Amino acid sequence: MIPFRPLLLVAFAYLLGSIPFAYLAAKITRGIDLRRYGSGTVSGSMVYEHVKRWMVVPVGILDLSKAALPTYLGLRLGFSEGWAAAAGIAAMIGHIWPIFLGFTGGRGLSTILGVLLVLFPWGDAWLLSFLALGFALRDSAPWALASMAGMPLLVWMLGGSLTLYWVIGAMLAVMLLKRLEANRRPLPVDAAERRQMIWLRLAVV
């Protein structure tokens, strides 16, 4: 039988993750809907580009915290590392597909940082170094994906738990799905254009 309390934590984590701090920041400060700008994602990067640059800091901290908190609570309440990780991933899914915004949210990087902060802090350092390189090269998308794809090697080198492997794999899968889904924007009809758009969504946009 699946225990009730961990499932309750997972449900709470999803609802907490669904709180769209970037959307609220844009609405409160500029009166705009971030979903109508740029890539249409509700994220700290969109706040940086279309609202106020300094606001990316508090928004990023809040988005990170809403995944770190349920992950930490899972461990604090005596649940297994797997259940704590499931709560963190639920918060990530809530951030990406928030129930409060018609399932249109961000891309999940800040929530990944929140989960890793609790379960594998070295993963944060690893991911942030790749993001810094991508920022310098003005193309962070492929570097973020490369970081997640290569992180199991870091786990192995540092003797991390077996749970971390599936956690990282699950977060990478959710990241890829979000990029391909692109807030339900349709793909071109032409096969060649469709392949090009899929590539752009994965590696550039």
Per residue of the chain (205 residues), give pLDDT as tens: 568 899 999 999 999 999 999 999 989 988 888 888 777 788 888 888 888 888 889 999 999 999 999 999 999 999 999 999 999 999 999 999 999 998 988 889 999 999 999 999 999 999 999 999 988 877 777 888 899 999 999 999 999 999 999 999 999 999 988 887 766 666 666 666 656 656 555 665 5
DSSP 3-state of 19: coil
Instruction: Using CB atoms within 10 Å of the CB of residue 142, give its burial: 0 to 12 exposed, 13 to 18 middle, 19+ buried.
Output: middle
pTM: 0.89
- Give DSSP secondary structure letters for 53-119: GGGHHHHHHHHHHHHHHHHHHHHHTT--HHHHHHHHHHHHHHHHS-GGGTT----SHHHHHHHHHHH
Assess contact for 187 and 198: CB atoms under 8 A.
yes
